[in-house]
Chain A
Amino acid sequence: MADNIIELVDLHKSFRGQHVLRGLNLGIPRGQTTVIIGRSGGGKSVMLKHMIGLIKPDQGKVLLDGQDMTTMHDRKLNQVRRRFGMLFQNAALFDSMNVLDNIAFPLREHTRLSAEKITQVVAEKLSLVGLPGVEDKMPDELSGGMRKRVGLARAIALEPEIILYDEPTTGLDPLMTDAINRLIMNTQAKLGITSVVISHDIQGAMQIAHRIAMLYQGQIIAQGTPEEIKSSDDAVVQQFIHGRAEGPIEVI
């Protein structure tokens, strides 16, 4: 058994009678990048939100270092959450605050750093994501790609052990997609972080992933290294990674 930092055990979740997760099992190996692929609306985001306790499962367990997050009290859960950073689909920057305050937010909440030190850390994180000097901009002045990078800077501000990426490259142009993918790889390599990435971008997934898992009909139907996934003989996986409308997955 590999060293898994997060372990999802037999997760079930329904919304308004719709059974989204149907007994999902998945281990996230420590210090590596795991990419989850699967169809839009197939429950990938729901699964990711289970990992950080934003959604509680109807049934099943979410183990973080062997501790069940689903039964934790608020206070304990908040402690645990400091080990995570999360990049939301549309970055979820606080639009009432400028970039500096957004990235400084977790620092001000959870550390006792001085104001100068915080400004310094923010500048450092911004240059890490390739956006030095945008501290004074408001989120609505930024492009989609820039917002995502600021969101990433905020997610890594507290130097988390685990980063969750919810569709980091969706809706970006190919160059920005590549830039974000590189950023994910660099962040992972430099900081030795465990990353979980949700993506539709198969090419990017093959590039950044140590492991790939495919979510289909509420379960993980295949997982392995990019090579193993590529050479998988599962018809569903083959159809998905080659982006074909014909096959066992009903598209329309």
Chain B
Amino acid sequence: MRLFEFLGRIFLRMLDEAGELLLLLLQAVLWLLRPPFRIRVVFKQMEFVGVKSLNVVILTGAFTGGVFALQSYHGFSLFGAESLVGSTVALALTRELGPVLTSLMVTGRAGSAMAAELGTMRVTEQIDALYVMAVNPVQYLVLPRMLASVVMLPVLTIIADFVGIVGGYLVGVHLLGINSGIFIAKIIEYMEFSDISMGLIKASFFGLILSLVGCYKGFYTTGGAEGVGRATTEAVVLGSVLILASDYVLTAIMF
């Protein structure tokens, strides 16, 4: 009986959290339609989420492409299909690894920062101060972060895709000696535009998830500095899990 009680409590807590997340999303969407529109705040967040994540996304993309070429080369060389390394790398990156790894990296970098910043604002009464000054914090803090993430994640993903393929090319062609013309020709032969576009749609959705979770955890922080720390950790964990889980669902629907 204890076990059921325990599981039931976890389940209820999850339902609670899902409901609160959706309510926050709903509020943000409603504010999307109401002035004032805070273009400048959105741009500032786009810089934070996008431009400042560039380094980490490029590094992730390059090494992922490289290691993927290395691994698939070892597999394919067993039955003489080395020529397919390029297209394998390209498809894996555009469909899966590009959007997912980019989003996970941005969750760690920006999603956590959103939770920490909003959490600190909550515990130091800065969010209350916004209410008092008749500025809605969902509209001022949450919506710009969500918009910026939804726009910038596809941009970062396409960069990761490209850099990853270049990394695969360098490893495949220059280190492992695959013919350069074949490497590229197979990519063009097997990759379709929809591989890229579907990946970008996923990235956009992941952007929504990581910013929503980051803002949600920060916005409802309680318990001082410790609470801010907890919110930050939870934002990364929950964000990452939701990204991976929804990736499966989205992939099953789209491809």
Chain A residues with CB under 8 Å of chain B are 49, 52-54, 74, 78-79, 81-82, 84-86, 88-90, 92-96, 105-106, 109-110
Closest Cβ of chain B to A47, distance in Å, is 15
Decide: A88 and B128 in contact? CB cutoff 8 A: yes
Cβ contacts under 8 Å, A54 to chain B: 128, 131-132
Max chain B CB contacts within 10 Å: which of A81, A92, A106, A110? A92
Closest Cβ of chain A to B14, distance in Å, is 21
A selection of 27 A-B contacts at a CB cut-off of 8 Å is A54-B128, A54-B131, A78-B134, A78-B136, A81-B131, A81-B133, A82-B134, A84-B132, A85-B132, A86-B129, A86-B132, A88-B128, A90-B124, A92-B125, A92-B126, A92-B128, A92-B129, A94-B121, A94-B129, A95-B120, A96-B117, A105-B135, A106-B134, A109-B133, A109-B135, A110-B133, A110-B134
Chain B residues with CB under 8 Å of chain A are 117, 120-121, 124-126, 128-129, 131-136
Decide: B126 and A94 in contact? CB cutoff 8 A: yes
Decide: A49 and B128 in contact? CB cutoff 8 A: yes
Q: Within the assembled complex, what's the spacing in Å between the Cα atoms of A106 and B29?
A: 24
Cβ contacts under 8 Å, A95 to chain B: 120, 124, 126
Cβ contacts under 8 Å, A88 to chain B: 125, 128-129
Decide: A52 and B133 in contact? CB cutoff 8 A: no
Q: Within the assembled complex, what's the spacing in Å between the Cα atoms of A105 and B126?
A: 13
Cβ contacts under 8 Å, B135 to chain A: 105, 109
Closest Cβ of chain A to B244, distance in Å, is 32
Interface residues of B: mostly helix, strand, loop or mixed? helix
Supposing A90-B124, A92-B124 touch, asked if A81 and B129 sit within 8 A by C-beta, the answer is no
Supposing A90-B125, A92-B125, A92-B126 touch, asked if A105 and B133 sit within 8 A by C-beta, the answer is yes
Closest Cβ of chain A to B45, distance in Å, is 12
Cβ contacts under 8 Å, A94 to chain B: 121, 126, 129
Nearest residue (CB) in A for B34 is: A75
Cβ contacts under 8 Å, B121 to chain A: 94
Decide: B132 and A52 in contact? CB cutoff 8 A: yes
Closest Cβ of chain A to B83, distance in Å, is 53
Cβ contacts under 8 Å, A86 to chain B: 129, 132
Cβ contacts under 8 Å, B136 to chain A: 74, 78
Q: Within the assembled complex, what's the spacing in Å between the Cα atoms of A96 and B121?
A: 10
Max chain A CB contacts within 10 Å: which of B121, B128, B129? B129
Decide: B128 and A106 in contact? CB cutoff 8 A: no
Q: Which of B125, B126, B132, B134 contacts A89 (CB 8 A)?
A: B125
Q: Within the assembled complex, what's the spacing in Å between the Cα atoms of A49 and B129?
A: 11
- For the complex of A and B, list the 6 residue pairs with the smallest distance between their C-beta atoms, beginning with the closest: A92-B125, A78-B134, A92-B129, A81-B134, A86-B132, A88-B125
Closest Cβ of chain B to A149, distance in Å, is 16
Known: A53-B131, A90-B125, A94-B121. 8 other contacts (CB 8 A): A54-B128, A54-B132, A81-B132, A81-B134, A82-B134, A89-B125, A92-B124, A92-B125
Cβ contacts under 8 Å, A84 to chain B: 132
Nearest residue (CB) in A for B44 is: A96
Closest Cβ of chain A to B3, distance in Å, is 26
Max chain A CB contacts within 10 Å: which of B117, B125, B128? B125
Closest Cβ of chain A to B224, distance in Å, is 12
Closest Cβ of chain A to B117, distance in Å, is 8
Cβ contacts under 8 Å, B131 to chain A: 53-54, 81
Q: Within the assembled complex, what's the spacing in Å between the Cα atoms of A90 and B136?
A: 21
Decide: B125 and A106 in contact? CB cutoff 8 A: no
Q: Within the assembled complex, what's the spacing in Å between the Cα atoms of A17 and B144?
A: 36
